[in-house]
């Protein structure tokens, strides 16, 4: 048995854990985005039309969405560290294999199957992230912590879109899949070596554990396995608060999936950009999304620290961000590519400000069912990963332009804001008798007890 360091100054191991979560989530989104970067070249080489490509984009979403509840059960059983590490290794290997689909007699079938399997492998990722931030961070830091790991989606697009676009131009679309797949496997092995849960991490001291627990964190969440209580699941899916959160997350995620799938093709086919220009132009909205994400999390935590209620602190940035995201429709009415990129950047910035859904789930889910709660939430949100690629593909196929598609994305942004305004109501943890969020004496004592550390 290894006891924690006893220095009265608290350690800050939680920030290292957050950095690891961020790195893993970056490659979660890099691997998702590989197909969108490779798609224009693959369409030419393999003869895919817009509808076929939309089906290929959606393959990931079908599996990812279906596996959210089973993935949540697996997470509650085996813990976030092992589940996320193994998931990363598997989905990276599947990404690598996508570089070989042109060798198959039925390349579309091969691509669809690999993207489907990749969705299965990635399904526990965000519930794992949410669980780890609840375990490692007090409530007053959780908005920023959640925003930072959510920044990974914007960072991945901002940094790696130019790199992947150059790779396609220089070596061909196959190498986008080869390189990202290999790097992801290496990061997965590093994760399994470097990451521990709070009570099993020899680097964290008693002062940091007490700080986490006294602030509403749950470092002992995975101390004992507990079978799922289906009455809790029924109460979650029947809760007006949770239904409103689910609708809002579907709308937010729809914006993300437009940028993850069709945005590069939009710039090439609707705006006449070259692949190299797309690599630079597509990175600009992602940078704006990074800034918006940091602002949203900081804004939310600032409100909480300055006496605002949890409801006001979490919902205000989300509603503001969703309403501002509706400006994406303005791209239909301007012709300058510079202004189009500015409009897209404003919309993605706004989406970043409002991207606090995972923070809310950490705040309101039953403590004993965090994994399954995150799974249900992510299932509802990621229905957009199926609907958005298919709907936009059909709209382009039917109308021959992107105008209806951009109007669709703007309408969903407005719907999400209305859901938070009129359906969600007061935010409070579902298994708490009060909204104080104060830790019990047992929780404090349990967190400070030494544990076997590996």
**Overall average pLDDT of the 183-199 stretch:** 90
The whole-angstrom separation of Cα 419 and Cα 380 is 14
Q: What is the pLDDT of residue 31?
A: 85
Confidence of residue 226 (pLDDT cuts 50, 70, 90): low
- Report H helices in 258-366: 263-269, 275-281, 283-305, 310-325, 337-353, 357-364
**First-to-last C-alpha distance (Å) of the chain:** 9
- Report H helices in 137-173: 139-171
Q: Is the separation of the CB atoms in 65 and 386 below 8 Å?
A: yes
Q: What is the pLDDT of residue 51?
A: 78
Condensed to tens digits (0 to 9), the pLDDT of residues 318-335 reads: 999 999 999 999 999 998
Q: What is the pLDDT of residue 452?
A: 47
- Domain ranges within the chain, ordered by starting residue: 13-448
Q: What is the pLDDT of residue 227?
A: 58
Confidence of residue 3 (pLDDT cuts 50, 70, 90): low
Is it the case that residue 447 has pLDDT exceeding 90? Answer: no
The whole-angstrom separation of Cα 215 and Cα 182 is 39
- Residue 3 is given by DSSP the state P
**Overall average pLDDT of the 364-383 stretch:** 81
Q: Is the separation of the CB atoms in 356 and 146 below 8 Å?
A: yes
Condensed to tens digits (0 to 9), the pLDDT of residues 275-322 reads: 778 878 888 998 898 899 889 989 998 998 898 999 999 999 999 999
Domain 13-448 CATH class label: mainly alpha
Q: What is the pLDDT of residue 224?
A: 47
Counting residues of the chain whose pLDDT is more than 70, the rounded percentage is 90
Q: In this predicted model, which residue has the larger pLDDT, 375 or 20?
A: 20
Phi-psi label, residue 81: left if phi above 0, alpha if psi -120 to 50, beta otherwise: alpha
The whole-angstrom separation of Cα 417 and Cα 320 is 8
Counting residues of the chain whose pLDDT is more than 90, the rounded percentage is 32
Condensed to tens digits (0 to 9), the pLDDT of residues 104-150 reads: 888 888 888 999 999 889 888 888 888 888 888 888 888 888 888 87
Tokens of 193: 């070596």
The whole-angstrom separation of Cα 126 and Cα 249 is 13
Mean pLDDT of the chain: 84
Report CA 120 to chain centroid distance, whole Å: 15
The whole-angstrom separation of Cα 412 and Cα 418 is 10
Condensed to tens digits (0 to 9), the pLDDT of residues 38-60 reads: 888 887 788 777 777 778 878 88
Is it the case that residue 437 has pLDDT exceeding 70? Answer: no
The whole-angstrom separation of Cα 318 and Cα 351 is 8
Q: What is the pLDDT of residue 433?
A: 43
**Overall average pLDDT of the 387-396 stretch:** 88
Is it the case that residue 207 has pLDDT exceeding 60? Answer: yes
């Amino acid at each position: 048995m290894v006891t924690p360091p006893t220095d009265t100054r608290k350690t800050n191991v939680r920030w290292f854990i957050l950095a690891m979560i961020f790195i893993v989530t970056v490659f979660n989104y890099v691997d998702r985005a590989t197909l969108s970067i490779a798609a224009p070249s693959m369409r030419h080489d393999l003869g895919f039309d817009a509808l076929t490509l939309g089906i290929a984009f959606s393959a990931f979403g079908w599996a990812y969405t279906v596996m959210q509840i089973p993935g949540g059960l697996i997470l509650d059983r085996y813990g976030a560290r092992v589940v996320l590490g193994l998931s990363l290794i598997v989905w990276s290997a599947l990404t690598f294999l996508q570089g070989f689909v042109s060798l198959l007699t039925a390349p579309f079938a091969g691509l669809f199957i690999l993207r489907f399997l990749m969705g299965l492998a990635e399904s526990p990722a965000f519930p794992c992230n949410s669980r780890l931030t609840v375990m490692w961070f007090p409530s007053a830091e959780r908005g920023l912590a959640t925003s930072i790991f959510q920044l990974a989606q914007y960072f991945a697009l901002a940094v790696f879109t130019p790199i992947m676009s150059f790779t396609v131009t220089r070596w061909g679309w196959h190498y986008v899949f080869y390189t990202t797949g290999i790097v992801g496997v290496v990061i997965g092995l590093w994760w399994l070596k470097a990451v521990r849960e709070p009570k099993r991490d020899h680097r964290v001291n008693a002062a940091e554990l007490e700080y986490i627990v006294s602030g509403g964190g749950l470092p002992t969440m995975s101390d004992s396995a507990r079978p799922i209580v289906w009455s809790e699941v029924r109460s979650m899916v029947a809760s007006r608060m949770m239904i409103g959160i689910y609708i809002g997350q579907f709308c937010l995620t729809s914006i993300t999936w437009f940028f993850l799938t069709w945005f590069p093709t939009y710039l090439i086919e609707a705006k006449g950009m070259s692949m190299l220009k797309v690599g630079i132009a597509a990175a600009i909205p992602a940078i704006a999304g990074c800034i918006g994400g940091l602002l949203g999390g900081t804004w939310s935590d600032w409100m909480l620290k300055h006496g605002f209620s949890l409801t006001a602190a979490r919902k205000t940035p989300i509603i503001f961000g969703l309403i501002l995201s509706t400006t994406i429709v303005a791209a239909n009415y301007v012709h300058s590519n510079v202004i189009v990129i500015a409009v897209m950047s404003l919309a993605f910035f706004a989406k970043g400000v409002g991207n606090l859904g995972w923070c809310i789930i950490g705040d309101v889910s039953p403590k004993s069912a965090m994994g399954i709660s995150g799974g249900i939430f992510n299932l509802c949100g990621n229905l957009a990963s199926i609907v958005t690629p298919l709907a936009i593909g059909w709209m382009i196929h039917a109308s021959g332009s992107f105008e209806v598609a951009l109007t669709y994305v703007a309408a969903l942004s407005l719907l999400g804001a209305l859901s938070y305004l009129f359906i969600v109501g007061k935010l409070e943890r579902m298994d708490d008798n009060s909204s104080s969020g104060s830790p019990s004496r047992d929780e404090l004592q349990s967190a400070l007890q030494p544990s076997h550390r590996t």
